[in-house]
Amino acid sequence: METNKGIIFDLDGVIVDTAKFHFLAWRKLANDLGFDFTKEQNEQLKGVSRVESLRKILEWGELELSKTEFKRQMALKNENYLSYVAKMDKSEILPGVQKVIDYLIENNIPFALGSASKNARTILKKINLLDEFDAIVDGTDVSKAKPDPEVFLIAAEKLNVKPENSIVFEDSVAGVQAANNANMISIGIGEEKTLGEADYVFNDFTEIDIDFIKKLLTK
Ligand code: BG6
Ligand code: MG
Protein backbone atom coordinates (compact mmCIF):
# COMPACT_ATOMS: atom_id res chain seq x y z
CA MET A 1 0.00 0.00 0.00
CA GLU A 2 1.20 3.51 -0.86
CA THR A 3 1.16 5.68 2.23
CA ASN A 4 3.31 8.37 3.78
CA LYS A 5 1.99 7.45 7.20
CA GLY A 6 3.48 5.47 10.05
CA ILE A 7 2.20 3.94 13.26
CA ILE A 8 3.58 4.27 16.78
CA PHE A 9 2.48 1.90 19.53
CA ASP A 10 2.79 2.50 23.22
CA LEU A 11 3.62 -0.79 24.97
CA ASP A 12 2.24 -1.08 28.50
CA GLY A 13 -1.56 -1.22 28.37
CA VAL A 14 -1.66 -1.20 24.55
CA ILE A 15 0.23 -4.27 23.30
CA VAL A 16 0.27 -6.09 26.63
CA ASP A 17 -1.59 -5.61 29.88
CA THR A 18 1.51 -4.87 31.92
CA ALA A 19 -0.33 -1.83 33.32
CA LYS A 20 -1.85 -4.25 35.84
CA PHE A 21 1.62 -5.46 36.91
CA HIS A 22 2.85 -1.87 37.32
CA PHE A 23 -0.20 -1.18 39.48
CA LEU A 24 0.36 -4.26 41.67
CA ALA A 25 4.04 -3.44 42.14
CA TRP A 26 3.47 0.24 42.96
CA ARG A 27 0.65 -0.62 45.33
CA LYS A 28 2.85 -3.10 47.19
CA LEU A 29 5.49 -0.40 47.53
CA ALA A 30 2.93 2.09 48.91
CA ASN A 31 1.44 -0.51 51.26
CA ASP A 32 4.91 -1.46 52.55
CA LEU A 33 5.49 2.22 53.27
CA GLY A 34 2.20 2.35 55.17
CA PHE A 35 -0.35 3.90 52.81
CA ASP A 36 -2.47 3.14 49.76
CA PHE A 37 -3.67 4.85 46.58
CA THR A 38 -6.75 4.53 44.42
CA LYS A 39 -7.36 3.19 40.90
CA GLU A 40 -8.14 6.76 39.86
CA GLN A 41 -4.76 7.92 41.15
CA ASN A 42 -3.19 4.99 39.30
CA GLU A 43 -4.44 6.46 35.99
CA GLN A 44 -2.02 9.33 36.62
CA LEU A 45 0.88 6.85 36.77
CA LYS A 46 0.19 5.34 33.36
CA GLY A 47 2.66 6.44 30.70
CA VAL A 48 4.73 8.23 33.33
CA SER A 49 8.39 7.34 33.93
CA ARG A 50 9.51 5.25 36.90
CA VAL A 51 11.06 8.22 38.75
CA GLU A 52 8.03 10.46 38.14
CA SER A 53 5.70 7.69 39.31
CA LEU A 54 7.50 7.28 42.63
CA ARG A 55 7.52 11.06 43.14
CA LYS A 56 3.75 11.17 42.68
CA ILE A 57 3.13 8.18 44.96
CA LEU A 58 5.24 9.65 47.76
CA GLU A 59 3.35 12.91 47.42
CA TRP A 60 0.04 11.03 47.83
CA GLY A 61 1.42 9.29 50.92
CA GLU A 62 2.87 12.59 52.17
CA LEU A 63 6.20 10.90 52.60
CA GLU A 64 9.73 12.08 51.92
CA LEU A 65 12.61 9.69 51.31
CA SER A 66 16.36 10.25 51.24
CA LYS A 67 18.00 9.96 47.83
CA THR A 68 19.40 6.55 48.68
CA GLU A 69 16.08 5.22 49.96
CA PHE A 70 14.29 6.63 46.91
CA LYS A 71 16.64 4.71 44.63
CA ARG A 72 16.29 1.57 46.74
CA GLN A 73 12.50 1.72 46.57
CA MET A 74 12.60 2.17 42.78
CA ALA A 75 14.83 -0.87 42.47
CA LEU A 76 12.55 -2.92 44.74
CA LYS A 77 9.51 -1.93 42.68
CA ASN A 78 11.24 -2.90 39.47
CA GLU A 79 12.35 -6.23 40.92
CA ASN A 80 8.78 -7.00 41.95
CA TYR A 81 7.45 -5.83 38.55
CA LEU A 82 9.96 -8.01 36.69
CA SER A 83 8.83 -11.07 38.67
CA TYR A 84 5.48 -10.70 36.85
CA VAL A 85 7.15 -9.98 33.51
CA ALA A 86 9.24 -13.16 33.86
CA LYS A 87 6.07 -15.23 33.51
CA MET A 88 4.98 -13.56 30.27
CA ASP A 89 4.86 -15.14 26.83
CA LYS A 90 3.21 -14.31 23.53
CA SER A 91 -0.22 -15.32 24.82
CA GLU A 92 -0.11 -12.00 26.73
CA ILE A 93 -0.41 -9.96 23.53
CA LEU A 94 -3.77 -8.28 23.95
CA PRO A 95 -6.66 -9.51 21.76
CA GLY A 96 -6.79 -7.83 18.34
CA VAL A 97 -3.24 -6.44 18.43
CA GLN A 98 -1.56 -9.18 16.40
CA LYS A 99 -4.07 -8.77 13.56
CA VAL A 100 -3.12 -5.09 13.20
CA ILE A 101 0.61 -5.84 13.38
CA ASP A 102 0.25 -8.57 10.72
CA TYR A 103 -1.59 -6.15 8.45
CA LEU A 104 1.13 -3.50 8.84
CA ILE A 105 3.86 -6.03 8.05
CA GLU A 106 2.03 -7.45 5.01
CA ASN A 107 1.52 -3.97 3.61
CA ASN A 108 4.98 -2.60 4.39
CA ILE A 109 3.66 0.11 6.65
CA PRO A 110 6.37 1.33 9.00
CA PHE A 111 5.67 1.01 12.71
CA ALA A 112 7.56 1.84 15.88
CA LEU A 113 7.36 1.44 19.61
CA GLY A 114 7.18 4.61 21.71
CA SER A 115 7.30 3.62 25.37
CA ALA A 116 8.41 5.23 28.64
CA SER A 117 9.55 1.87 29.93
CA LYS A 118 13.16 0.87 30.42
CA ASN A 119 11.93 -2.73 30.34
CA ALA A 120 10.38 -2.43 26.87
CA ARG A 121 12.95 -4.58 25.05
CA THR A 122 12.76 -7.30 27.71
CA ILE A 123 8.99 -7.44 27.34
CA LEU A 124 9.02 -7.40 23.52
CA LYS A 125 11.45 -10.28 23.60
CA LYS A 126 9.21 -12.28 25.95
CA ILE A 127 6.24 -11.85 23.61
CA ASN A 128 8.29 -12.53 20.45
CA LEU A 129 7.77 -9.09 18.92
CA LEU A 130 11.24 -7.59 19.37
CA ASP A 131 12.28 -8.06 15.75
CA GLU A 132 9.01 -6.92 14.17
CA PHE A 133 9.32 -3.19 14.86
CA ASP A 134 11.04 -0.86 12.40
CA ALA A 135 12.15 1.29 15.34
CA ILE A 136 12.06 1.08 19.11
CA VAL A 137 12.19 4.15 21.32
CA ASP A 138 11.94 3.45 25.04
CA GLY A 139 12.70 4.85 28.48
CA THR A 140 16.43 4.48 27.89
CA ASP A 141 16.31 6.83 24.86
CA VAL A 142 14.42 9.81 26.25
CA SER A 143 15.07 12.50 28.81
CA LYS A 144 11.56 13.96 29.00
CA ALA A 145 8.57 11.98 30.22
CA LYS A 146 5.16 11.93 28.50
CA PRO A 147 3.15 14.27 28.13
CA ASP A 148 6.30 15.70 26.57
CA PRO A 149 6.22 14.61 22.90
CA GLU A 150 9.93 13.63 22.80
CA VAL A 151 9.46 9.84 22.69
CA PHE A 152 7.00 10.01 19.77
CA LEU A 153 8.96 12.64 17.85
CA ILE A 154 12.08 10.47 17.98
CA ALA A 155 10.04 7.43 16.89
CA ALA A 156 8.56 9.31 13.89
CA GLU A 157 12.00 10.55 12.92
CA LYS A 158 13.35 7.00 13.03
CA LEU A 159 10.49 5.86 10.80
CA ASN A 160 11.15 8.80 8.50
CA VAL A 161 7.53 9.88 8.84
CA LYS A 162 6.34 13.42 9.55
CA PRO A 163 4.68 13.99 12.95
CA GLU A 164 1.36 14.94 11.33
CA ASN A 165 1.46 11.65 9.40
CA SER A 166 2.06 9.58 12.53
CA ILE A 167 -0.71 7.62 14.22
CA VAL A 168 -0.24 6.84 17.91
CA PHE A 169 -1.95 4.13 19.98
CA GLU A 170 -1.97 5.02 23.68
CA ASP A 171 -3.75 3.89 26.85
CA SER A 172 -2.64 6.71 29.12
CA VAL A 173 -3.75 10.30 29.56
CA ALA A 174 -0.11 11.46 29.57
CA GLY A 175 0.54 9.49 26.36
CA VAL A 176 -2.49 10.86 24.51
CA GLN A 177 -1.36 14.34 25.50
CA ALA A 178 2.18 13.55 24.29
CA ALA A 179 0.80 12.47 20.89
CA ASN A 180 -1.37 15.57 20.67
CA ASN A 181 1.57 17.75 21.70
CA ALA A 182 3.57 16.14 18.88
CA ASN A 183 0.79 17.08 16.43
CA MET A 184 0.12 13.41 15.70
CA ILE A 185 -3.14 11.50 15.29
CA SER A 186 -3.97 10.04 18.71
CA ILE A 187 -5.95 6.87 19.28
CA GLY A 188 -6.86 6.15 22.89
CA ILE A 189 -7.19 2.55 24.02
CA GLY A 190 -9.38 2.55 27.11
CA GLU A 191 -12.33 4.46 28.46
CA GLU A 192 -13.74 7.48 26.68
CA LYS A 193 -14.22 9.24 30.02
CA THR A 194 -10.49 8.98 30.75
CA LEU A 195 -9.05 9.40 27.23
CA GLY A 196 -11.50 11.94 25.81
CA GLU A 197 -8.64 14.16 24.59
CA ALA A 198 -7.70 11.57 21.93
CA ASP A 199 -8.83 11.92 18.29
CA TYR A 200 -10.42 8.46 18.50
CA VAL A 201 -11.08 6.15 21.46
CA PHE A 202 -11.64 2.38 21.49
CA ASN A 203 -12.07 0.14 24.51
CA ASP A 204 -9.54 -2.28 23.08
CA PHE A 205 -8.09 -3.57 19.79
CA THR A 206 -10.95 -6.01 19.19
CA GLU A 207 -13.06 -2.92 18.42
CA ILE A 208 -10.65 -1.72 15.74
CA ASP A 209 -11.16 -3.22 12.33
CA ILE A 210 -8.66 -3.18 9.51
CA ASP A 211 -10.91 -0.93 7.42
CA PHE A 212 -10.55 1.80 10.02
CA ILE A 213 -6.75 1.48 9.88
CA LYS A 214 -6.83 1.48 6.06
CA LYS A 215 -8.90 4.67 6.05
CA LEU A 216 -6.51 6.41 8.44
CA LEU A 217 -3.54 5.37 6.33
CA THR A 218 -4.99 6.59 3.06
CA LYS A 219 -6.57 9.81 4.37
C1 BG6 B 1 5.08 3.16 31.07
C2 BG6 B 1 4.06 2.68 32.05
O3 BG6 B 1 4.90 2.52 29.84
O4 BG6 B 1 6.40 2.90 31.53
C5 BG6 B 1 4.32 3.27 33.44
O6 BG6 B 1 2.76 3.07 31.61
C7 BG6 B 1 5.76 2.95 33.85
O8 BG6 B 1 3.40 2.75 34.35
C9 BG6 B 1 6.72 3.47 32.80
O10 BG6 B 1 6.05 3.53 35.12
C11 BG6 B 1 8.17 3.16 33.14
O12 BG6 B 1 8.35 1.78 33.09
P13 BG6 B 1 9.58 0.97 33.64
O14 BG6 B 1 9.34 -0.42 33.12
O15 BG6 B 1 10.81 1.59 33.08
O16 BG6 B 1 9.53 1.06 35.13
MG1 MG C 1 0.75 2.66 28.32
Global pTM value: 0.95
Q: Please, what is the average pLDDT of the chain?
A: 97
Q: pLDDT class for 1, splitting at 50, 70, 90?
A: confident
Grouping H, G, I as helix, E, B as strand and the rest as coil, residue 138 is coil
Q: How far is the CA of 160 from the centre of ligand 1 (A)?
A: 26
Lining residues, ligand 1, CB within 6 Å = 11-13, 22, 45-50, 53, 78, 115-119, 139, 172
pLDDT tens-digit map of 88-103: 999 999 999 999 999 9
Q: What is the 3-state secondary structure (H, E, C) of 127-190?
A: CCCCCCCCEEECCCCCCCCCCCCHHHHHHHHHHCCCHHHEEEEECCHHHHHHHHHCCCEEEEEC
| pLDDT number for residue 41 | 96
| pLDDT number for residue 40 | 92
